[in-house]
């Protein structure tokens, strides 16, 4: 070998050595369902994590709505192209839990990666939803939320309502809706997004009444739906009556109708606390939020709300080094100051106790009480069998069935009782189908 050859080989080796760190960087694919201001949060988190170290690169990708993202993840797993991290809304929890082999439980992931991980550091009202009965955390809470009542304070003033004393009960909401309609909001006195989340799932927990046996499905896939009970029927009957003159106006199955609040069309809207980013960015009026209303005759109401939003599931079948990168990213997400920043800027709940205590101690909630409303709802009382949460397989499809029946009642095609009877019967048929599949 000549001197010249040796130099060339050495130079090539140096170049390759210099390029090694970039080649060794492991990409972590993160599929999510967030748009607008919340999409910006996802992108910023990925950028900050990528800048904090050189071994791993988080690559976020928007995959459509929550159901679309869940379906895309399932299809990709079957095709062998699943991402490392899949954001799944709480409705898909039962489906993900039953997908043995398709997921990597978070508690196993963190242990195998050697990351510091204390499940007790997280808010139990949030993590309980994503954990087994033994307390093993299966997915990482991310954009957790609950349902609150957003209201237009300027509209309240126009209607002669006290903007600093929002209605607390459903009868008070109905009266406020009538006054708002009379004051010019003739298309919609009040409304809600997420039809079944508002009027079945949260409604049941907030009133401490069951929507199914087996702790609303948390204790087994053999749960039986039973929410065709008197208070649910009364509530739907009220909505049907009030829709006739637009005191109440239906805004659809998902959150597509939330713009009716920020545009000023509907001055009261029940929807996710995660709506905060859009309200802050788009509402051209003074606004606030308040806890969900309740029927005063319901014993013990209000009870506690249940969480919404989504968590991050780790998909199965990945390499150990890739899992190590995912675990480091979850540690990064759980950092106290990062959680404080996420909560105060996005409106989603802090997932750790330390982050919540730090925000509370800072006095932040005195000026921005609307960001504490969902936390106070979730922790209003010790959860009961009816308010721990819910977990049903095929809930995405079941929600569509429930929505169809609610819409049939609102359209006058069925009585409220007949619609809820059908919602329960059809939902139970799907639960039994899922139970047979999950038991194989």
Domain boundaries, the chain: 26-145+307-371, 147-304+393-439
| 147-304+393-439 matches 26-145+307-371 in CATH topology | yes
Please state the rounded mean pLDDT for residues 89-101.
86
| Lowest-confidence region among 99-103, 167-171, 209-213, 384-388 | 99-103
- Which is more confidently placed, 231 or 9? 231
Domain 147-304+393-439 annotated CATH 3.40.190.10:
yes
| Lowest-confidence region among 33-47, 228-242, 302-316 | 33-47
Q: To which residue do tokens 């001055």 refer?
A: 267
**Count of beta carbons in the 10 Å neighbourhood of residue 156:** 25
Question: CB–CB of 279/153 below 8 Å?
Answer: no
pLDDT in tens, 253-299: 998 999 999 999 999 999 999 899 889 999 999 999 999 999 999 99
- Which is more confidently placed, 99 or 426? 426
Above 90 in pLDDT, residue 2?
no
Instruction: List beta partners, residue 29.
Output: 59
Please state the rounded mean pLDDT for residues 225-243.
98
| Lowest-confidence region among 177-181, 184-188, 264-268, 274-278 | 274-278
The per-residue pLDDT for 18 is: 43
Q: Which of 294, 260, 286, 270 is nearest to 172 (CA)?
A: 294
The per-residue pLDDT for 439 is: 58
Residue 6 pLDDT class (50, 70, 90 cuts) = very low
Q: What beta strand segments (E) does 197-334 contain?
A: 268-272, 287-290, 308-315
The per-residue pLDDT for 4 is: 45
CA 407 to chain centre: 23
pLDDT in tens, 117-148: 998 898 887 888 888 878 899 999 998 999 99
Q: Which of 224, 340, 239 is nearest to 293 (CA)?
A: 239
Please state the rounded mean pLDDT for residues 98-110.
91
The per-residue pLDDT for 1 is: 43
**Token pair listed for 298:** 């319901």
pTM: predicted TM-score of the whole model, two decimal places: 0.85
Q: Distance (Å, rounded) from C-alpha 423 to C-alpha 172?
A: 28
Domain 26-145+307-371 annotated CATH 3.40.190.10:
yes
Above 90 in pLDDT, residue 346?
no
């Amino acid at each position: 070998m000549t001197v010249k050859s040796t130099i060339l080989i050495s130079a090539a080796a140096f170049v390759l050595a210099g390029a090694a760190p970039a080649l060794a960087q492991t990409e972590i694919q993160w599929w999510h369902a967030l748009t607008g201001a919340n999409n910006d949060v996802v992108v910023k988190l990925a950028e900050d994590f990528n800048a904090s170290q050189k071994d791993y690169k988080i690559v976020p990708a928007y995959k459509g709505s929550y159901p679309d993202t869940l379906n895309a993840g399932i299809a990709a797993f079957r095709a062998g192209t699943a991402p490392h991290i899949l954001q799944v809304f709480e409705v898909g929890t039962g489906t993900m839990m039953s997908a043995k082999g398709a997921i990597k439980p978070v508690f196993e992931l963190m242990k195998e990666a050697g990351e510091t991980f204390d499940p007790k550091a997280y808010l139990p009202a949030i993590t309980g939803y994503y954990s087994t009965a033994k307390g093993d955390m299966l997915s990482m809470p991310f954009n957790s939320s609950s349902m609150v009542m957003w209201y237009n304070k300027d509209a309240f003033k126009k209607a002669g309502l006290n903007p600093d004393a929002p209605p607390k009960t459903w009868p008070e909401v109905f009266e406020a809706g009538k006054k708002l309609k009379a004051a010019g909001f003739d298309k919609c006195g009040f409304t809600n997004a997420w039809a079944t989340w508002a009027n079945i799932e949260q409604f049941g927990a907030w009133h401490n009444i069951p929507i199914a046996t087996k702790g609303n499905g948390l204790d087994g896939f053999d749960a039986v739906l039973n929410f065709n009970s008197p208070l649910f029927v009364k509530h739907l009957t009220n909505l049907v009556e009030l829709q006739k003159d637009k005191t109440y106006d239906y805004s659809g199955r998902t959150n597509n109708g939330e713009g009716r609040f920020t545009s000023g069309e509907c001055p009261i809207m029940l929807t996710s606390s995660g709506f905060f980013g859009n309200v802050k960015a788009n509402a051209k009026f003074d606004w606030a939020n308040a806890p969900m209303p309740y029927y005063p005759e319901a014993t013990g109401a209000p009870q506690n709300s249940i969480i919404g939003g989504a968590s991050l599931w780790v998909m199965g079948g990945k390499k150990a080094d890739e899992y190590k990168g995912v675990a480091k990213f979850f540690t990064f997400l759980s950092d106290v100051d990062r959680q404080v920043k996420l909560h105060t800027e996005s409106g989603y709940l802090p997932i750790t106790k330390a982050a919540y205590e730090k925000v509370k101690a800072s006095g932040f909630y005195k000026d921005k009480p609307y960001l504490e409303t969902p936390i106070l709802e979730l922790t209003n009382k010790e959860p009961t069998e009816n308010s721990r949460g819910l977990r049903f397989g095929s809930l995405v499809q079941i929600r569509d069935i429930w929505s169809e029946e609610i819409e049939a009642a609102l359209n006058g095609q069925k009585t409220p009782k007949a619609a809820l009877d059908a919602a329960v019967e059809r939902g139970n048929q799907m639960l039994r189908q899922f139970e047979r599949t999950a038991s194989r």
